[in-house]
């Protein structure tokens, strides 16, 4: 079996070698999960709920361990990593309530009784990206397990360590063996086998639109369910009537959080032309003071990029662009890149159109509401975004007009585990989180019972 060296992006040191599973190991894991499904689906709803609550409690007992592991593996700031570990706990707690509330319906019919049931699908394959390894894993496995499915999870090659630890914690919490399996490996081996293996009845994928399209096409051969959360090129729209100081102070966090390695990053900044110069003057000190530091420091607001290759890709967007100003970043070993603000000359600029997935913000002025909406929608993506205004009517009009699955007014929040999350257009299909996510891991079965003698 091959192995992969997992590297700390802050100092380029090797953390450990992780075995990469091949097709034979993947098939064996899927078949064990299929066998475990036969008994897991029969676990009483209350007992399944107790096991998920116990899993959440064990995660809670290991929050700091998981957070420190993510700092080393993914370069996340310690503050972010603690939130991410806590999110896994909270999502498990939230969906622990689902088994006992997964109710069907009684539908009035003539000649009998008609009832529906939400039946689990079987084995669910979850493919997790490297940018948010812990929370995105939990968004998939928690509702899938709650609905009575078994899960085989493939972490990203670059960031497998917290997923592997979560797999160990699940067993420590008492989940039966093979109900939740973490299987490191290459995407074109393990992930592709999720798509082609007939026992895997649903694939959840978070990652690039290109790979998501390939998974969706492959899943069609077996009419296999998919949930896809893909790329984003999100707009942050600032109107002249907004609280400009607050909007400028928060803009760096909206795009530079996790070093911009976030599908929800507000990487296109649209500012109404009448306040454009004033806003840039407010934005510059907010960017230059953004703290890019060793991610283990409590004061760090941004850490390194995930790899040398990714740093080179991000840098390629800035070489010929009009740079307004930049922040600072550490030198030496590690894959550091400074927060950077670029002035877009037109909507055809490469940095304006493509998902950079790094700490790069592109800025463009607009005239009025209609142009702001048109510019925001001038992209193949539709995942997230923000708008800043004091006018409630405008907030509602623009929110309804922008084609994105998750919008915030006067804030940059995208994810709350009790509300739906997902994209429009080429940002994906399906919804994660919220009260209805568990239904996406079930089939509705209709049963008619004749009462005629």
- pLDDT digit string (tens) for 161-198? 999 999 999 999 999 999 999 999 999 999 999 999 99
List the catalytic residue out of 25, 229, 355, 432.
229
Band (pLDDT 50/70/90 cuts) for residue 10 is very high
Question: Does the structure show a pLDDT above 90 at 222?
Answer: yes
Q: Encode pLDDT of 15-29 as tens digits.
A: 999 999 999 999 999
Band (pLDDT 50/70/90 cuts) for residue 320 is confident
Collapsing DSSP states into helix, strand and coil, what is residue 10? coil
Average pLDDT over residues 253-261: 98
Distances in Å between the Cα of 391 and the Cα atoms of 238, 334, 384, 395 are 12, 45, 20, 6
Interior/surface letters 399-416, b for 16+ CB within 10 angstroms, e for the rest? eeebbbbbbbbeebebbe
Question: Does the structure show a pLDDT above 90 at 383?
Answer: yes
Is residue 264 flagged as an active site residue?
no
Distances in Å between the Cα of 97 and the Cα atoms of 75, 307, 313 are 33, 39, 43
Q: Encode pLDDT of 275-315 as tens digits.
A: 999 999 999 999 999 999 999 999 999 999 999 999 999 99
Question: Does the structure show a pLDDT above 80 at 435?
Answer: yes
Which pLDDT value is given to residue 147?
98
Average pLDDT over residues 107-125: 98
User: In the numeric block, which tokens belong to residue 317?
Assistant: 């967007």
List the catalytic residue out of 70, 263, 355, 369.
263
DSSP assignments along 98-121, one per residue: SGGG----EE--TTEEEEEEEEE-
Q: Assess contact for 160 and 127: CB atoms under 8 A.
A: no
Which pLDDT value is given to residue 330?
96
Q: Assess contact for 444 and 152: CB atoms under 8 A.
A: no
CB-based contacts of 141, cutoff 8 Å, min separation 6: 124, 126, 151, 153, 180
Collapsing DSSP states into helix, strand and coil, what is residue 146? helix
Cβ of 390: how many Cβ atoms within 10 Å? 11
Sign of CA dihedral 223, 97, 141, 261: positive
User: In the numeric block, which tokens belong to residue 316?
Assistant: 């390629």
Band (pLDDT 50/70/90 cuts) for residue 77 is very high
Is residue 204 flagged as an active site residue?
no
State percent of the chain over pLDDT 70: 100
CB-based contacts of 338, cutoff 8 Å, min separation 6: 292, 326, 327, 328, 329, 359
Band (pLDDT 50/70/90 cuts) for residue 438 is very high
Which pLDDT value is given to residue 1?
73
């Amino acid at each position: 079996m091959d192995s992969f060296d997992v590297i700390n992006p802050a100092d380029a040191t090797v953390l450990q070698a992780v075995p990469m599973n091949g097709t034979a190991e993947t098939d064996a894991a899927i078949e064990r999960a299929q066998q475990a499904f036969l008994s897991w689906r029969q676990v009483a709803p209350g007992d399944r709920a107790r096991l998920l609550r116990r899993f959440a409690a064990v995660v809670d007992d290991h929050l700091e361990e998981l957070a420190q592991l993510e700092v080393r593996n993914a370069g996340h700031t310690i503050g972010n990593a603690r939130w991410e570990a806590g999110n896994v706990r909270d999502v498990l707690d939230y969906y622990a309530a689902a088994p006992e509330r997964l109710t069907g319906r009684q539908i009035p019919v003539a000649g009998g009784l008609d009832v529906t049931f939400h039946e689990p699908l079987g084995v669910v394959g979850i493919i997790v990206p490297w940018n948010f390894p812990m929370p995105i894993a939990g968004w998939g496995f928690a509702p899938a397990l709650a609905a009575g499915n078994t899960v085989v999870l493939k972490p990203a090659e670059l960031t497998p360590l917290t997923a592997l630890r979560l797999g160990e914690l699940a067993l420590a919490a008492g989940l039966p063996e093979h109900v939740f399996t973490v299987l490191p490996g290459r995407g074109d081996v393990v992930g592709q086998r999720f798509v082609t293996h007939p026992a895997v009845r649903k694939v959840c994928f978070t990652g690039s639109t290109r790979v998501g399209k390939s998974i969706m096409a492959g899943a069609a051969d077996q009419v296999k369910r998919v949930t896809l959360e893909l790329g984003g090129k999100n707009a942050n729209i600032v109107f002249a009537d907004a609280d400009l100081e607050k909007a400028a102070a928060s803009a760096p966090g909206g795009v530079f959080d996790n070093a911009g390695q976030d599908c929800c990053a507000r990487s296109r900044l649209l500012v109404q032309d009448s306040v454009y110069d004033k806003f840039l003057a407010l934005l510059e000190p907010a960017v230059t003071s953004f703290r890019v530091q060793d991610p283990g420091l409590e004061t760090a607001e941004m850490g390194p990029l995930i790899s040398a290759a990714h740093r080179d890709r991000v840098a390629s967007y800035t070489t010929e662009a009009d740079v307004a100003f930049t922040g600072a970043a550490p030198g030496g070993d590690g894959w550091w890149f400074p927060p950077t603000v670029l002035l877009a000359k037109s909507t055809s600029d490469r940095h304006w159109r493509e998902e950079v997935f790094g700490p790069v913000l592109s800025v463009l002025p607009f005239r009025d509401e209609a142009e702001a909406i048109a510019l925001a929608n001038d992209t193949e993506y539709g995942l997230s975004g923000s708008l800043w205004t004091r006018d409630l009517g405008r907030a509602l009009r623009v929110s309804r007009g922008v084609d994105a699955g998750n919008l915030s007014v006067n804030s940059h929040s995208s994810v709350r585990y009790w509300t739906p999350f997902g994209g429009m257009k080429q940002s994906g299909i399906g919804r994660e989180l919220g009260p209805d996510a568990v239904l996406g891991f079930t089939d509705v079965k209709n049963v008619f019972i004749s009462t005629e003698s």
